[in-house]
Amino acid sequence: MRSRARDIAALALRRLVFAVPVLCVVAVGVFLLGAASPFDPIHQYYGVQIFSASAEEIAQAREALGLNDSLIVQFGRWAGGLLSGDLGVSRSFRQPVAQVIGERLPWTLLLVVVGLVLAVLIALVLGVLAAWRQGGWLDRCVTAIGHALEGIPPFVLALVAIAVFSLSLGWFPVAGLTDAGAEATLGQVASHLALPALVLAVSQTPWLVLHVRQSLLTALSEDHVTGARARGLAEHVVVLRHALPTALLPFVTLIGARVPELVTGAVLVEEVFSWPGVASAVVRAALAVDFPLLVVLSLLATAAVLIGSLLADVAAAVLDPRVAVDG
């Protein structure tokens, strides 16, 4: 058993070492894309003052901002700063990148974690119920709605949710972190979190619920389940104690694989709900070719994906001794 733990640690270490070149490639890639983009950062820097500035002043500002330097120099300057712990300054937010991330990341984590937990709970409950009574009305509903939802992008869900729950029913506020002028108290944030988290969860649920249902159906036909039934155990014991654990294993891997979708979903949901997280900052940074912020956000997203899949693999290895850890 000791050696198994060591193997898992070695797996994690291998993945982390492998992450370094991946992150470097992402950083260079984002930088090159930014350089090739048609947006000119000097327009972002000036804002509406660009319309009264003279050509000479704009040229001097370019010089002062280092926009005339070659790509390699600009990249070297940024990378050098990164190594000394300075993430640079965000042009679109006019504040240090570290501060932008520090202010916004907690809200994104809150949204994503609540969204993911909700998605997993909904998926487990509905998936188990659907598989348990395969072919029943609930199963048919869940399967049909699940397939339909797979094709609907999160921002459509978000707009529909606002129209129904905020504007028509008035149950939840439309957008923002708190009511206008209110402090960020627990109650305020919770009521404003409900709708975006729910939308994020629902947008992720179809894959999870259909997967739980399918693997549970497979598990229910396996020998050890048949054996349990033959021993006369109660049906709920058979489903929840014998079939579900086998079915959950691939589910854990699937959750890890869903992290990229979760990141994209968060961008769209935060944008629609004016949620002040890092994901909505992506849009603003991209439009402004705000390289220092854009690259850190891309690195964060990449890291989230890598860590997601690593955690899923480690969890699978811990849960199931048969899983090989040499990959």
Position among 18, 32, 57, 106 found at the interface with another protein (CB under 8 A) = 57
DSSP secondary-structure letter at 91? T
Task: State the amino acid at position 304 in one-letter form.
Answer: A
- Under the binding rule (CB under 8 A), the answer on residue 93 touching another protein is yes
CB closer to another protein, 5 vs 190: 190
- Under the binding rule (CB under 8 A), the answer on residue 39 touching another protein is yes
> Which 96-135 residues touch another protein, going by CB under 8 A?
96, 99-100, 103-104
DSSP per residue, 131-200: HHTTTSHHHHHHHHHHHHHHTS-HHHHHHHHIIIIIIIS--S-SSSSSSTT----HHHHHHHHHHHHHHH
Query: What is the spatial distance between Cα 99 and Cα 95, in angstroms, rounded to a whole number?
Result: 7
Binding mask 240-279 toward another protein (x if CB under 8 A, else -) reads: ----------------------------------x-x---
Q: C-beta of 274: minimal distance to another protein in Å?
A: 7
- Under the binding rule (CB under 8 A), the answer on residue 53 touching another protein is yes
Q: Which stretch binds another protein (CB under 8 A): 4-12, 22-30, 62-70, 300-308?
A: 62-70
Computed over its alpha carbons, how large is the radius of gyration of the chain?
24
Query: What is the spatial distance between Cα 132 and Cα 139, in angstroms, rounded to a whole number?
Result: 9
- Under the binding rule (CB under 8 A), the answer on residue 180 touching another protein is yes
- Under the binding rule (CB under 8 A), the answer on residue 235 touching another protein is no
Class of residue 169 by CB neighbours under 10 A (exposed 0-12, middle 13-18, buried 19+) = exposed
Closest CA to 118 of 21, 59, 198: 198
- Contact (CB, 8 A) for 247 and 274: no
- Under the binding rule (CB under 8 A), the answer on residue 60 touching another protein is yes
> Which 157-176 residues touch another protein, going by CB under 8 A?
167, 174-176
- Per CB under 8 A, residues contacting another protein are 38-40, 43, 45-58, 60-61, 63-65, 89, 91-96, 99-100, 103-104, 167, 174-181, 184, 274, 276, 280-281
